[in-house]
Structure 1
Amino acid sequence: MNPAPAVRPAVEGDARAIAEVHVAGWRGGYRGLVDDAVLDALSVEDRAAGWARGLAGGSRVLLAGTGGRVEGFACFGAARDEDLPAGTGEVHALYVLPAAWGRGTGGALLDAAVAELLTGGAPGVVLWALEGNARARRFYERRGWRTDGVRRVERFDGQELPAVRHRWAGPATT
């Protein structure tokens, strides 16, 4: 049995670990959805620089892993969609190393991010997923998230992919 992942807030020195998870998560989760050339060109160094700026600027990020190793992260904050009630929260990003999929890391991160947003007064929480990312969408649905009918197009290096918004409907009952 695998130990439960430990969740903690990220600090500025975690930018590279976040970037490593981010790149590996994209490559594992989006292969077949996003062009291979785009995935293969992702740079841990570029992502680390971006995460360092974000962490220094106050981005809210949680990390999770076992044995002191960062295996996943969740970035969250205010929702960016204008059609939502003021104060609504959003899980902006949730990525886990493919080698850690199915071990509870993603669930621990998602639960912790939602709890922080709701404790902070958010009247609800949303997240976006690529429509074709069936694995991620099943994961969210098992955890009590439901699509709300809102769609948008995500652009990745010239490629356009449909995305769907999910709202947290409370703890899953199944």
Structure 2
Amino acid sequence: MDWTIRPPAPADAESLATLHVAVWRHAYRGLIEQPLLDQLDVARSTQRWETTIARLRSGDLGHTVLAAYVDDQPVGIVEVGPATDERPPQPVEIRSLNVAPRWHGRGVAQDLMAQAVGDADAYLWVLRGNERAIGFYRKLGFALDGTERYDDTWRCYDQRMQRPGQSAG
């Protein structure tokens, strides 16, 4: 089965929220405290997506959001934009990439990344211990750079990965 990739529409907010909560509960089980994952709320996430989509459509967001859809249901989403760190190692930051577990290994994540960031110089933060994600990003040319930060909200450590794009070579 194929998917299509496009910016999310206002009608997609609830289904994106449902996807986001499900992906986090699956991917971060055992890496983030379970009570924190249990607090994830589709209604609250829907409000966030409604705001994000409205800002995206108005041109006010300042970054790219793309979702992969199968039969009009989202199976993956990526957010990419200008670096937000004080001293970023690269100009582009991959802010999030979430793919439904049943779509892992089928090319959805690669397709989302290709369309959102291409081969640009970029960096991202990945949860320490999330070996599946680290392995995926390594296949795309990213490498851990030794920088870590503590996330007070999720009570965990993130590790930075970066990739010099074609322009660096």
**Partner of residue 114 from structure 1, selected from 107, 114, 117:** 117
- Separation in 2, partners of 1:54, 1:168: 27
* Equivalent in the alignment of 1:10: 8
**Partner of residue 166 from structure 1, selected from 151, 156, 161:** 161
Q: Residue 29 of structure 1: CA displacement? A: 0.4
Counting only pairs closer than 5 Å after superposition, residues 74-85 of structure 1 correspond to structure 2 as 74-84=78-88
- Give CA-to-partner distance per residue, 1:109-133, whole Å, 9 cap, x none: 1221112x94xxxxx2111101111
* Equivalent in the alignment of 2:127: 130
RMSD over aligned CA atoms reads 2.0
**Partner of residue 70 from structure 2, selected from 59, 66, 70:** 66
- Separation in 2, partners of 1:72, 1:139: 15
Q: Give the length in aligned residue pairs.
A: 160
TM, length-normalised to structure 1:
0.83
Contact 2:150/2:157 (<8 A) preserved = yes
- Separation in 1, partners of 2:12, 2:72: 12
* Pair 1:92-2:87 in alignment: no
Instruction: Kindly provide the amino acid, as one letter, of the partner of residue 69 in structure 2.
Output: G
Secondary structure class of the residue paired with 1:33: coil
Q: Which runs of 5+ in 2 are unaligned?
A: none
Q: Which runs of 5+ in 1 are unaligned?
A: 119-123
- Separation in 2, partners of 1:146, 1:4: 30
Contact 1:151/1:162 (<8 A) preserved = yes
TM, length-normalised to structure 2:
0.85
